[in-house]
Structure 1
Amino acid sequence: MSKISTAILRGVSGAFIANSGVGKIGMPAEYSAGVQQAAASGIPALAKLPSDKFGTWLGYAETGLGAALLAPFVPSRIAGAGLAAFGGGLLSMYFRNPENTEADGIRPSQEGMSLAKDVFMLAIGLALMTQGDDK
């Protein structure tokens, strides 16, 4: 992959995720609990975390992932692995909730459209992980 295409993949996804993360830091406890409930539908262990702090912790994690994608000194394989894991986690929420898909269990329903698009994060992460070195 060329340096330009790598910069585009990392820059766009990194800026998007960092912005999303910053917006979650310090969120009200009620909203944080709702975000945690949605996340726990895909990754049940997340239900064990304190619900009032979950949103802020998620915000810090997203901001850190976005920063790693934007930082040129972080190898693309490492940043891509983080993005692929994050995208995979979001897709687990999509596939574990039957309301998100049509009857075939794959195509998104209207309710699932907002999560189905996260397949792009997984794909970008995998592309970054499998490319040659960053030189």
Structure 2
Amino acid sequence: MGISIANAALRLVSGAFILNSGINKLRIDEASAAGLQQMASNGVPQMAELEPAVFGKILSVSEISLGSALLLPLVPSRLAGIGLGAFSAVLLSSYLRTPGMTESDGVRPTADGTALAKDVWLAGIAVALIFGRRAAKKIKKEK
């Protein structure tokens, strides 16, 4: 078992970023929480059913939990990657389903969409964490 330097780097970068984001949202005001909730509900409509203050707390705690899981080496990389994959899927779904975020082709970001489109790097890290170790073992066996 153990963690590779590559996985450690991926987990450190994404974990620190997400943990910091969650800590910054601990004292989010209701208006800001409502704005984030509106954007999130474009990707996952059920989120609109929550009160904005509750949504803000859930989002903050979720980001702190995910960031911590990525930073803690005792959490398996594959498990941390699955959590990161779910988180990035919601972000990308919100990006793709929010009017004005993409060009007419529905994929490339507009100027307004660039801030959310950049979160595709989290999806890439999730894929690397979930499948990276398996691929490395396969290559090692072939040699």
TM-score above 0.5, yes or no: yes
Once the two structures are superposed, the pairs formed by residues 1-135 of structure 1 within 5 Å of their partners are: 3-132=4-133
Q: Determine what percentage of the aligned residue pairs are the same residue.
A: 48
**Which of the pair has more CA radius of gyration?**
2
Cα displacement (A) at 1:29: 1.4
Cα displacement (A) at 1:26: 2.4
Contact map agreement 1:22 1:59 (CA 8 A) in 2: yes
Amino acid at match of 2:17: F
Q: Which runs of 5+ in 2 are unaligned?
A: 135-143
Cα distance in 2, alignment partners of residues 53 and 26 from structure 1: 12
TM superposition score normalised by structure 2: 0.88
Cα distance in 2, alignment partners of residues 79 and 101 from structure 1: 29
Cα displacement (A) at 1:53: 1.9
Aligned pairs, number: 133
TM superposition score normalised by structure 1: 0.93
Displaced runs of 4+ in structure 1, greater than 6 A? none
Q: SS of 2:28's equivalent? A: coil
Alpha-carbon RMSD across the aligned residues, in angstroms, is 1.5
Q: Which runs of 5+ in 1 are unaligned?
A: none
Cα distance in 1, alignment partners of residues 50 and 98 from structure 2: 21
Cα distance in 2, alignment partners of residues 70 and 76 from structure 1: 10
State the Cα deviation string for residues 97-123 of structure 1 (Å, max 9, x = none).
Answer: 231111111111101001111110011
